[in-house]
Every structure is written in structure tokens, then in C-alpha cells.
Structure 1
Amino acid sequence: MVLTALDQLFAEEKIHVTPGEFHPLGNNGQWMAYPDSEGQISAILQHANERGLRVIPMGGGTKRGFGGTEERAELLLSLSRHRGIVEYSKGDLTITVKAGTTIKEIADYLKMNKQMLPIDPFWPEHATIGGVVAANDSGPKRLRYGSARDLLIGLRLVYPDGQVIRTGGKVVKNVAGYDMNKLFVGSMGTLAVISELTLKLRPCPAYKSLVILTFPDGDWQAIRSFVTAILDSQNEPVSLEVVSPSLSERLHGVREFGLAIAFEDVEKAVQYQVEWLKRHLPKNASLTVLSQDEADEWWDRFARIPPYKAQPGTEEEMEIGLKVGSKNLDTIEVVSLCHQLGQELQAEVLSHGGAGHGISRAYVKGNESKLLAFVHGVRSHAESRGGYAIIQHAPLPIRQKVDVWGEKPAYFPLLEGIKRTVDPHSVLNPKRFIGGI
């Protein structure tokens, strides 16, 4: 009966649909629907809400291994066909796009007018703007430009009952009422399906340099002192990323702890800051400068490091990705701990952390016992210092054994109440968010 009703709906609304297939990361659907308009999204959600069907929204699939403990729901709602530029205001530095548009598509469109959307998530050719905002994702350059939350002006959303709402506006100076955008950013698609987004833009920088520092003796005190000196100076780095030896070797062939410090401004300002680094270079540290296209190529390689697909192979070769939040200078210790745990567990670990914003990442390969031990070690360290450790990518069996989000926050009853009010039938992304929401 359910499948017959769905079949009729898809035919009436001209929605492309295919049967769902098994996926090792889970978060799949018995049916996969591909709406190409907001009206079709609304019709699907209204139908699902009336019949108690569960729906999992998805963009480019880069967050498929993030949260969720069940193999599939009744429907996987793919936004891959709901894409494109809706409105672009070059003079106002704003753009409105459909949720299924990839970050690379937006970047390529804006590049013609020497503007950019300053978000640097991983896998930009696959990551969609809707998924990035739903997960409040970001990369190393959030030190200067902020995260998706900071660039969002307005949203169009479809509630679980099919109702379409708008939050925020289409201008930067919009201060009327409560900022409802914040409610949906980072909610993992558990409250509504994002249909359109309006975002702030920036002019493309005239000049870019990336300074790579390596520390052969692994002197963490020297690294910490140097990072502190940078933060206390007049310099304005775009990134201040601590890099583990294994990741350093992957990116530029040197197996040593390092720093990746980016500057983006007019050429004179960039060169001044690079010279400052050279003058204050710590003893025994080595320095390499990449500029313009060379810097972009390095960041392109960096953006393709995290896992997001299901890796082929045996249970000995599973892969996970962690996001760790801490005080900004504690990222140095977090990266060191991840490297040490990798050696102790004899697991392959790549890690890096923003010493300016406090977000660290670790990507680990190994069997299940090694992966679980790694998560426990990192999470215990982070929580003992008032931080957190979230699993942002893992095979379904791992997510079923260890809580992706860690301990429930003190404000969890508030989150639970919002979910219950907006989605009383738990239609959208059930058990995908904190505390099984």
C-alpha cells in the first residue's frame, strides 16, 4: 500500500524515483526520490508526514557517514537535481542558490566576477551548499572568514509537513526579529529540508601565499610560542593550521610536524606578513612559500584528504573521521595526541588543527577495535578539558557501537523540545542528531 501510494505521488508530481540499494554507510532509503523543485520537495514531505514515513535528505553524499544508526528509512530525498543560481547581486555581494548546488559550482560562477563565497569545506566538487549549512561545516580558513553560520543571510525551508517558510532575508543588513537562520544551521536536516540559501560574498583576494613550516625536532613548546607570537602580532592569517607528520608527508613529502599559514590580501600586505614570519622563524624550523596557483593546488590536495565514501576492503581497513573542538592553542596538543595514539595502536592517522579557531580533525584507518580505542582516547582527552569529539564519518557498524556525538549537552531538553514541536512524527533524519533526535 505504501509503495503504491508513493508510486502514484511520484507519477502525479513528475518526480524521478529509483529503488534504493544497500549502502555500507547506511542512511539510505527504500526508495530514492529526485525532486527538481521546491514544490516537489513539499509534496514528498507532506505525503511522508501524513503516512508516518521516514525521510533522509541528501545532497552530494559527503555527510552520509555522519550520524544515524539505521541502514535505511522509507525515502532518501536527493537534492542533486535541485541546483543552480537563483539570484546574484554583484554590487551587494550576495547570492541566492538552490540547496543542491555544489561549492565548486558556486565558486566557478563567482570567479568570473572576481568574487567568492569564503567557505572552504572538504570535497568542494561534491559537497552541496545545503549540506554544508545543515552540518555547519568549515575548513581551515574559518579563522579569517568564519563558518557557514557567519555567511548565511536567509533561507527557504520546507517543514516536515510540507509547509514552506522563509527565514532571514536577501540583504546583509537584516535585523528584524529573531535570527531564525541559526536554528537550522548545524541541525543536520532534522528540522526542515533547506530549499534555497542567500549568502554573503567577498571579493577575491588580489594575492595569496601559503607558508609551510616544518619542525624536525617536534618541539611543541616552540610551535606553541611561535603560534602565540603570530596571534599577538598585527598579522592576519587566513589559516593557522597545525599538521601532523603523516599528513605533512602526504601533502609535501616531509614527515615532520608543521604549520600551514595562509595570507590573502593585496600583494604588498601578503609579502610583508611572509617577511615577518621569516624574521621570527624559530630555531631549526624550515620554511617554504607557495604563492598564487601553487598555494591553490596545495589547498586542493588538502580538501581531498578526509574520507567520505565507503572504502572497499576488509574489516581491517575501515576508516573514520573525527572533529575535535577545544581551546584554540590546545589544538597543538590534540594533533600531538592523535599522532601518538596512531603509533600506539599501529593505525594510520592523519590529523590537523586550527590553532586560531580550535577545530581539529583526525582521519584514522584500522580494524574496529583500533578505531573504537582511538575514539575513546581522543574523546576522553577532549571532554576532560571542556571540549568535544564528534565522529563525522564512520561505517554504519562503528556508528551503531559508539555514540557519534558523545555526551548530551546540558541544553539537550531544549533541542528535544524544538524537534518535537517542528517534527512531531520524526519524519526527517530520525536518530541523526545529538541524543538520538
Structure 2
Amino acid sequence: MVSLDLKGVLPKEQLKLNDEEGHPLGNGGIQIIEAHSEEDISKVLAYANKHDKTVNVVSGGTKRGYGGAIEQADFLLSLSKYKGIVEHSVGDLTLTVRPGTTLKEITDELGKNGQRVALDTFWPEMATIGGIVAANDSGAKRLLYGSARDLVIGTRIVYSDGRVIRTGGKVVKNVAGYDMNKLFIGSMGTLGVISEITIKLRPLPKYEGLSLLHFPKGNEQAIRDFSVLILDSFMEPVSLEILNPSISEKMIGNSKYTLAISFEDRENAVLDQEKWVKEHLPIGVEHSVLHEEEARHWWEKFRHFGPNGYNDDTNEANTQAALKIGSNNLDVLVNLEAADNLAEAHHVAVEAHGGVGHGISKVYVKGFPEDIISYIKALKTKVEEKRGYVVCTHLPFTLREAVGVWGEKPGYFSLLEGIKRTNDPKEILNRQRFVGGI
């Protein structure tokens, strides 16, 4: 039954009981509340804080399997209808937008003025800017453009007691002292609900090219050597992404480790850099180049790998997990090889890719639950040998207890606890969603 008190807080059409039984990803709520404004968010959190109710936050739902040790909170606050562009300053290359707006909606609107948000996260038609920022998500083009942490210049935040604050501003050069935005970016909604985001924009590239280098089996060291050569050169690649053979097979029908090198600039600049790549190819490496629409289509296809919060299979044999590996950038290939080599021993299917320029890798795993658990533990051991880390960014709720989703508590954990106590003393927001059960 919907709380009678809550009916006085928001119109009844924005309130409903959650009738889904045991969502496989958890992070739900007994009552679903749809926010249509910042004021709605503030009222709900003030009510929850006063009555000691817990609140989970959702928007597009693509991050629903990312962390979380509690299956259901009292309220599931949905921001999916709190969307739209608040302000677009074309001349200043800035955009202020509400959190429920999908990346594709933003991309389509900005494209009319030859601009874009330089984030290439997966499932852009479903992933919302609020979720992307809350998780500090990013894609292969992070190499040149950075992540949400690098692009957000201002936010409005609703604290757990309903108070609203602004961090940063609406112009690029606005920060004096500590950049408070960074406190909330990547905190998984545990410190406050993002109600508005101001982000730096970039012009659409004049020309786009994608060089695909296919390395023979047994010659993987050449990938590392060639990547180092590029990183030490005057080249400015947008991506330097290694695809494992299974992703390479699906993308281009070539079951080899593939290096995807993207360039975005004026046409002559792109073609000159592609010429350099061709002239410095290692012996025995196959090479193909895509331009403009073909390159954009390739990246569009690439952004639709892995789980998205809605494509989980009820068949246990097709249970899905997604892992994020952070490491020294030159250890990316080693980690991808470990991910592939462990797959057969643990009876799982693996698709993986990683940025040899920025050190972030993604591994998508499919198989029986017990095999996935054993695989994750084995991969963590391998990655940690080189001082890397593994985070589970998608895992069914029943499996998250069996695996340390965030890994061991960091040495600075007491600092994180202190920030949480200051911002959300009653632990109202996304309880146990973040590192160490915060």
C-alpha cells in the first residue's frame, strides 16, 4: 500500500507499489516514486530523512547491477521522466541538462549545432547522463577526451535531507579551490541525488577515421610495442583500444587480437596520421581503414556489447557479468590475455577490450553462476599480481554477496566513511551501494 503520508508529498499518479517479484539485479524499492522536478526530489528525500526511510535511485537502469547489497529500499526514486536540456550555450560550448536525459537524446540535440558531449559510454539510447556521471562511466575514447570527471563543470545536488546545493558553475573557468563536483562524480548516488549537470562540449570532428590492425596469434607482444611507439610519437589517437578475438570476430569477422586506432580531426590531419600508422606496421599485421560513416557505424555497433540492465537471461547458463579492470596502461594486454586464458578453465564465454592508452579494460562474462564466481575470483588474483584492480559493474543480486564487488577496502576508507556520515548521516541514499558497503 502506498504510504498515506507520501500521498501528501507528491501527486498520487507519481506513486505506485512495486509489483515486480525479485528483480534479478536488486537495487529496487517497495514503492516507486517518479520525480518530475528538483522540487519533487527534495520533497521525497526530506520525507525519507524525517521518517527514516531508505531510498534507491534509478534512471535509465543500465547501472542497476552495479554494486548494492540490499535488494530493496523503502523507496525507488526514478528520475527517468526528469529529463531535458535546461540551457545550451552554443558559443561557450557548455550544456546544462537534467539527469534523466539519455546520452543519445543529448547527442541528437547537440548535433543540430555541430557539437557533442565527448562521452562514448555503452548503450547510449538507454544510459542517462545522471547515471553516467554518478558512475563516472566512460568508453574507448576516454584516451583523448577523458571521463565524466574531466568534463563536468557544475552540478546541482539534492542532499539526503532535501537541501539543494550547487557545485561549480556554468562556465568552463569557474573553479577556485577544491572542485566539489568530483566529490559526487563516481560516488554511485550515495552522497546526494544529482538534479542538474553542466558539462563541457566539443565541436563535432571535421573528419573521422578508424584504423584496424589485426595481429597474428602468438605475436601479441607486437601490440604492446606498436602501442608504445604510437604513444611516444606525435600521433594524437582518440582511441587505442585492444579487442580480444571474440569481440574482433563479432565486429569484423577476424578472430585475432585487434588494435582499434581512431583519429578525429581535419581530414588532412587524419589521413596523415593514418599514413604514419601504415608506414610503421609490424610485419605480418593485417590492416584496414574505415572513414566517416563507416567508422561511426563501427563505433555504434561496438557500444552495444555486454549487459545493459534489461538483457539478462532467465536461463542460468546465460547469466551475465561485467567487469572493469584498472591497471597500468601497458598491462592491458596482459589482463586481456589472462581474461581469455581463464575462460576455458572456468567454462565461461568472455568478450573483452581495453584501452592501452588509459589502462581501463572491460570484460563481459557469460555462463553458469558458480562458474562466473570462480572466474571472477581467479581473474582478480591475476590482475592484482600486477597491482591492478577488478570491479564488478554488473552482477545479479544473488551473486554479489559471493564476490567482493568493489574489492578490498582501500587504505583511505575511513575518509570515505567520514564523507558519507557528513553528507548522509542516516544512510538514506543508495545504502551499501558503494565501496566497503557505504
Question: Would you say same fold, with TM above 0.5?
Answer: yes
Does the 8 Å contact 1:218/1:256 carry over to 2? no
Residue correspondence of structure 1 range 320-339 to structure 2 within 5 A? 320-339=321-340
Aligned to 1:101: 101
Letter matched to residue 99 of structure 1 = P
TM-score by length of 1: 0.98
Question: How far does residue 217 in structure 1 lie from its aligned partner after superposition?
Answer: 2.3
Does the 8 Å contact 2:102/2:125 carry over to 1? yes
Aligned to 1:282: 282
Aligned to 1:395: 396
Aligned to 2:366: 365
Does the 8 Å contact 2:86/2:98 carry over to 1? yes
C-alpha RMSD over aligned residues = 1.2
In structure 1, runs of 5+ residues without a counterpart are none
Does the 8 Å contact 1:15/1:35 carry over to 2? no
Output one character per residue of 1:187-220: Cα deviation in whole Å (capped at 9) or x when no partner: 0000000000001001111000111111122412
Aligned to 2:345: 344
- 2:179 equivalent to 1:179: yes
Does the 8 Å contact 1:227/1:355 carry over to 2? yes
- 2:16 equivalent to 1:4: no
Does the 8 Å contact 1:348/1:366 carry over to 2? yes
Q: Supply the distance in 1 between the matched residues of 2:128 and 2:13 (Cα, whole angstroms).
A: 20
Does the 8 Å contact 1:218/1:257 carry over to 2? no
Question: How far does residue 177 in structure 1 lie from its aligned partner after superposition?
Answer: 3.1
- SS of 1:10's partner is coil
Aligned to 1:247: 247
Aligned to 1:88: 88
Aligned to 1:418: 419
Output one character per residue of 1:61-88: Cα deviation in whole Å (capped at 9) or x when no partner: 0000000122211111110111000011
Output one character per residue of 1:73-124: Cα deviation in whole Å (capped at 9) or x when no partner: 1111110111000011111000100111111111111101101110111111
Output one character per residue of 1:254-298: Cα deviation in whole Å (capped at 9) or x when no partner: 111111110000000000111111111111110111111111111
Percent of aligned positions with the same letter in both sequences? Answer: 53
- SS of 1:75's partner is strand
TM-score by length of 2: 0.97
Does the 8 Å contact 2:2/2:16 carry over to 1? no
Q: Supply the distance in 1 between the matched residues of 2:13 and 2:74 (Cα, whole angstroms).
A: 16
Does the 8 Å contact 2:27/2:56 carry over to 1? yes
Question: How far does residue 18 in structure 1 lie from its aligned partner after superposition?
Answer: 2.0
Q: Supply the distance in 1 between the matched residues of 2:411 and 2:386 (Cα, whole angstroms).
A: 16
Q: Supply the distance in 1 between the matched residues of 2:218 and 2:289 (Cα, whole angstroms).
A: 20
Question: How far does residue 308 in structure 1 lie from its aligned partner after superposition?
Answer: 2.0
Does the 8 Å contact 2:351/2:364 carry over to 1? yes
Aligned to 1:207: 207
Q: Supply the distance in 2 between the matched residues of 1:240 and 1:156 (Cα, whole angstroms).
A: 34
Output one character per residue of 1:3-52: Cα deviation in whole Å (capped at 9) or x when no partner: 222233233xx661221123111111111111110001100000001111
Q: Supply the distance in 2 between the matched residues of 1:85 and 1:49 (Cα, whole angstroms).
A: 29
Give the total of aligned pairs. 435
Q: Supply the distance in 2 between the matched residues of 1:15 and 1:50 (Cα, whole angstroms).
A: 23
Does the 8 Å contact 2:2/2:17 carry over to 1? no
Does the 8 Å contact 1:209/1:262 carry over to 2? yes
Does the 8 Å contact 1:15/1:40 carry over to 2? no
Q: Supply the distance in 2 between the matched residues of 1:114 and 1:218 (Cα, whole angstroms).
A: 44
Q: Which moved more, 1:150-159 or 1:312-321?
A: 312-321
Question: How far does residue 343 in structure 1 lie from its aligned partner after superposition?
Answer: 2.2
Letter matched to residue 402 of structure 1 = V
Following superposition, which runs of at least 4 residues in structure 1 exceed 4 angstroms of deviation?
A: none
